[in-house]
Amino acid sequence: MKKFFVLFLALTALVACENDSKKESGLTAKIDAEDGTTVYYSAMSDQGSPKAIDTVVVKNGEISLELPEVNYQTLSILTLDGNARGNVLFINENKKVEGTIYKDSLQKSHLKGGENQELLYKYLTFIGEQGKKVNELGMQSRDPKVKNDPEMLKSLRDRRAVLTKDENEFREDLIKNNPNSLVSILVLSDMIGMNMNPNADKKALFDSLSEEAKNSPSGKKIEKYLAANQDINIGSKAPSFSAKTPEGNELSLEESLGKITIIDFWASWCKPCRIENPNVVKLYNKYHEKGLNIIGVSLDKKTQKDKWLKAIEDDKLAWQHVSNLEYWNEPIAKLYNVRSIPATFILDEDGNIIAKNLRGKRLEDKIAELLD
């Protein structure tokens, strides 16, 4: 399972004067580190990178920090000097933060604070538990007995699909139920940047956020991204393109459309693509007569044309192929904002994008839903 944005921690704090009395909101935590250990406190800047704010030294097994007052929630990070095992994350929301930090298990440390800090902890805990379940399924699938048992393999794939469904629903529900939370923005950012919940309407989820959340630095970045990529969102008309086939003929997207069409971005040098190819071949052989077309777009280099052709032959990719052979400068890949491969876009008969970035059983289930 892909890792979450695990980078941060800290607290919210401030001293405000009212009627000559002080009101404190900061961070206080017990820590099982030696006295004298330095703890670094950073916060995410408007540019999206950690910015050093302060340092504190462990004294009598504790640390105490005053944190700057913020207009909106800020993701913060605590790092222990000499400890490369991770960070402690927290959200500064002008509330008192306290808890316990375990130097040998930073990600299991729990800082309690405001409602958004608790929401962050809830999300990280859920993702961590899901990751353990996925790893367990992976270990089972590598068992020689399981490898040779199609029914057991199918059962594991089905259980993995359920976990994925649960994760997708959890993320979307979290965003919808917490429209003003920085956690919702962070989760949506991960969904976009790491191709999570590929069929979710990211624009609709962003629109569901509060104005304050949208206008935060992280919110504005998402808004800018969505605006720049609106042409490849689900529901949009797929951008038109044409390129040379392996035989040197010009082939357009419009000429390649079937009842359902998969645009498959891949390359001969891409190991995950080559591993996925047998699944796509099986899918094509099963559904081509029912209206499934595929157009492969290769990100091979001009010097690799022979490898591109050999991969098509070796993997028995019987569908149509095009490429400008310009590697990551492939114009079609740029048009579709493809930053990693394999990448897929599923189109209806009118060329509208109805799903994207599906692989394996999820791709198979989607095609079955559309053509069976």
pLDDT digits (tens, 9 = 90+) for 296-306: 999 999 999 99
141 CB-contact burial (10 Å; exposed 0-12 / middle 13-18 / buried 19+): middle
Task: Name the range with the highest mean pLDDT among 8-22, 36-50, 168-182, 212-226.
Answer: 168-182
Of 95, 112, 129, the position where a domain reaches its end is 112
Considering the domain architecture, whether residues 129 and 150 belong to the same structural domain is answered as yes
In a domain, 331, yes or no: yes
Considering the domain architecture, whether residues 137 and 223 belong to the same structural domain is answered as yes
The CATH number of residue 75's host domain is 2.60.40.1120
CB 83 within 8 A of CB 47: no
User: For position 20, what pLDDT does the model report?
Assistant: 33
In a domain, 3, yes or no: no
Q: Read out DSSP for 312-341?
A: HHHTT--SEEE---BGGG-HHHHHTT--SS
Residues 89/95/99/101 CA torsion (nearest 10 deg): 30
Considering the domain architecture, whether residues 220 and 107 belong to the same structural domain is answered as no
Q: Is the pLDDT of residue 80 over 70?
A: yes
Considering the domain architecture, whether residues 45 and 137 belong to the same structural domain is answered as no
For 79, phi and psi rounded to 5 degrees?
Answer: -130, 135
Q: Is the pLDDT of residue 3 over 60?
A: no
Considering the domain architecture, whether residues 171 and 215 belong to the same structural domain is answered as yes
Q: Is the pLDDT of residue 111 over 90?
A: yes
3-state secondary structure (DSSP) of residue 300: coil
Q: What is the mean pLDDT of residues 147-168?
A: 88
In a domain, 38, yes or no: yes
Structure tokens at 81: 């000097």
Considering the domain architecture, whether residues 202 and 254 belong to the same structural domain is answered as no
Residue listed under structure tokens 């790092």: 79
User: For position 104, what pLDDT does the model report?
Assistant: 85
In a domain, 121, yes or no: yes
CB 99 within 8 A of CB 120: no
User: For position 50, what pLDDT does the model report?
Assistant: 87
3-state secondary structure (DSSP) of residue 212: helix
Distance CA(210)–CA(151), nearest Å, equals 47
In a domain, 199, yes or no: yes
Quick one: pLDDT band at residue 6, thresholds 50, 70, 90? Answer: very low
Tell me how many domains the chain contains.
Answer: 3
Considering the domain architecture, whether residues 122 and 102 belong to the same structural domain is answered as no
For the segment 330-372, what is each residue's pLDDT rounded down to a tens digit? Answer: 999 999 989 889 999 999 999 999 998 888 888 999 999 999 8
Considering the domain architecture, whether residues 130 and 186 belong to the same structural domain is answered as yes
Cα 369 to Cα 197, 232, 283: the distances in Å are: 18, 22, 13
3-state secondary structure (DSSP) of residue 131: helix
In a domain, 237, yes or no: no
Considering the domain architecture, whether residues 256 and 198 belong to the same structural domain is answered as no
CB 265 within 8 A of CB 343: yes
For the segment 116-133, what is each residue's pLDDT rounded down to a tens digit? Answer: 999 999 999 999 999 999
User: For position 12, what pLDDT does the model report?
Assistant: 27
Helix axes 115-141, 182-193, angle to 10 degrees: 30
CB 329 within 8 A of CB 316: no
Of 228, 257, 272, the position where a domain reaches its end is 228
Of 92, 112, 132, the position where a domain reaches its end is 112
CB 173 within 8 A of CB 188: no
Considering the domain architecture, whether residues 277 and 364 belong to the same structural domain is answered as yes
User: For position 191, what pLDDT does the model report?
Assistant: 87
Mean pLDDT of the chain: 88
In a domain, 45, yes or no: yes
Considering the domain architecture, whether residues 309 and 249 belong to the same structural domain is answered as yes
Give the structural domain span for 73.
14-112
Residues 164/315/251/258 CA torsion (nearest 10 deg): -50
In a domain, 236, yes or no: no
Considering the domain architecture, whether residues 359 and 251 belong to the same structural domain is answered as yes
pTM above 0.85, yes or no: no
Strand 38-44 to 50-57 pairing: antiparallel
Task: Please name the residues in contact with 364: beta carbons below 8 A apart, sequence gap of 6 or more.
Answer: 279, 283
Show the DSSP H helices in 148-270 as ranges.
150-177, 182-193, 202-207, 211-214, 217-228, 253-256
**Other CB atoms within 10 A of residue 151 CB:** 8
